[in-house]
Structure 1
């Protein structure tokens, strides 16, 4: 026989839940949050296909687990690389520093901004700096003040190509850029002879890593927030034409590198494999009002909790076919691969936040 509520219990219940009821209280709370201003202004975007099946060239493997972590605790987020004529490798880290790797030795070169204990945290990036694309050039050139400078490529035709991922968000707010899915990115070119810069292509979705073809007749551009790579023809019969090179990638592409075998290697910063966050982003695409609501109530640091720790980079041929993939399915060695740099028989895997560098033989 169920217990009979006492008069005292009923009075306590009525005090906690007045006549208008608990559902109404929830509705009022939701409405008050809904009308708060949101930090983002997203546009609707719908992926035409679900993430590709992990079969064939995308079959999950453990190739990346043969890698070795080096300079643990010394390099945090070594995102991109270049090499000089003596074989020294250069990289920049999240705390605004530029480093040189000579053999098995690490040397500090310089820093991009102020020297503060808080350097390496998102709020201090504007004063500490955060080097992204790194390449070696014969002559120094003045930079241009953009919002989110990212990928970099130097042409043999005395042009420097680079991307401005967003004209709205800085690097420290890149998660807002991905969620918002706007098209405020640009591909730009700088002529060090005339010291003039120009916009080559605008309206890009988080323009990120870039790579010139061997003949420099086209350039590949990663559009990170919509998981695709486009090709823009800079010379020849197709000059000025933009086309999709590879679409519906299994994750969010970062830097693109041309390997010694003629394949393009693409680092995947976050996979779209089944997890809470990745399919969730796909599903949110067509609903800007939901994105606004989530951005209001969720701090930026919270999103990283749901990211799957699955290391991945792809090899893509000049037709846009994925011909090989390299995985670390449980992130035991690395995850969030930003760059795949080949030098002297080794492959260096960059990242944006992790406190180590991974090397593959």
Structure 2
């Protein structure tokens, strides 16, 4: 009995470590600027939650975002409302309406990463369950691009020079509705992949990654950046032979020891890259990351860790976003709410026309802030 109680106590400590109690702040960056947000606009996402990622089409309309019930919706700025644009599966019975979408997302789909292809106007979608999809500029039901089944498709970006799509498969063991298991188990079965629409070929660029998440092509197309969530770092994968990387695998570390668990990554028009941090670190998270056996032990207990984490996340908001410099990956800017206006989590920051669109996989709204 005492052993079981000890295991439960350790497990709860591990889970709660995913929520920050220390208020840790970034300590590096020569020109770090912290933005406190006393007042910004919240835009509810009607009927579902979790606007994880944003993208604008090449006419400047949008943004578009994916929601927890499997829809991709489009923001009409003139009307100040969202409209349905696409779905990632024809199976829609029981998907929409107010209920716990996490329980049905494996049936209804969960669109995460989004990117438009310039030459065709098609929207590519990384759906956690349905894989890599594409839908025409008119919207509708998206079509699957891959024959290979994927367990946890997550982030994507497109090299507009070649049309090649780069995307992540976060785990070959756990699905998105059990993503806490990826973090707690020390799973390293994730992959960085590419899809060439001309040849229809899929290639694995990097494997054995710890929860690969967001991916972005650099401004000049020389390299990719891919977020490794569980390792709290960003990797740089070189796409040409002019890199200074000496790694046999053609990649190096762009940024590491981030002050939380990074999610998506997007280019900033002011230079550099915005990285959303789902959760900031505490002393307990650091301890847990150094002792992965704790997580594996906790997963063996009869506890619904996803549910417990969801409840705690609602009351312990501590998301943050960082802008990393383009050359060195140094933190140059920080986005977070003040004490009375915290975010549960921040999945992504999309900067457009002097406005920051802030997404979170846990909230029923998107945030909009004028810089």
Calculate the TM-score normalised by the size of structure 2: 0.77
Higher strand share: 2
Higher helix share: 1
- In structure 1, the partner of 2:72 is 98
Once the two structures are TM-superposed, the CA of residue 68 in structure 1 deviates from its matched residue by 1.0
- In structure 2, the partner of 1:301 is 307
Once the two structures are TM-superposed, the CA of residue 54 in structure 1 deviates from its matched residue by 4.2
- C-alpha distance in 2 between matches for 1:70 and 1:185: 33
The range that moved more, 229-238 or 138-147, is 138-147
The range that moved more, 150-159 or 279-288, is 279-288
- C-alpha distance in 1 between matches for 2:241 and 2:169: 25
Does residue 108 in structure 1 map to residue 110 in structure 2?
Answer: no
Does residue 83 in structure 1 map to residue 53 in structure 2?
Answer: no
SS, match of residue 276 in structure 2: strand
Once the two structures are TM-superposed, the CA of residue 306 in structure 1 deviates from its matched residue by 4.1
Count of matched residue positions in the alignment of Structure 1 and Structure 2: 316
- C-alpha distance in 1 between matches for 2:268 and 2:53: 15
* Structure 1 contact 79–132 (Cα < 8 Å) conserved: yes
- In structure 2, the partner of 1:150 is 154
- C-alpha distance in 2 between matches for 1:62 and 1:351: 18
Does residue 230 in structure 1 map to residue 235 in structure 2?
Answer: yes
Change (3 A) 1:54 1:194: closer
Once the two structures are TM-superposed, the CA of residue 182 in structure 1 deviates from its matched residue by 1.9
Change (3 A) 1:73 1:166: same
SS, match of residue 113 in structure 2: coil
Once the two structures are TM-superposed, the CA of residue 171 in structure 1 deviates from its matched residue by 0.7
Give the number of the structure whose alpha-carbon radius of gyration is greater: 1
Does residue 292 in structure 1 map to residue 296 in structure 2?
Answer: yes
Calculate the TM-score normalised by the size of structure 1: 0.79
- In structure 2, the partner of 1:19 is none
- C-alpha distance in 1 between matches for 2:61 and 2:158: 18
Once the two structures are TM-superposed, the CA of residue 340 in structure 1 deviates from its matched residue by 0.9
- In structure 2, the partner of 1:327 is 336
* Structure 1 contact 310–331 (Cα < 8 Å) conserved: no
- In structure 2, the partner of 1:249 is 258
- C-alpha distance in 2 between matches for 1:204 and 1:214: 24
Change (3 A) 1:358 1:74: farther
Structure 1 segments unaligned to the other structure (5+ residues)? 1-24, 39-49
- In structure 2, the partner of 1:354 is 363
- In structure 2, the partner of 1:310 is 318
Change (3 A) 1:117 1:286: same
Residues 97-128 of structure 1, C-alpha deviations (whole Å, 9 max, x = no match): 11011212311123223224355522211101
Change (3 A) 1:235 1:54: closer
The range that moved more, 285-294 or 157-166, is 285-294
Does residue 183 in structure 1 map to residue 157 in structure 2?
Answer: no
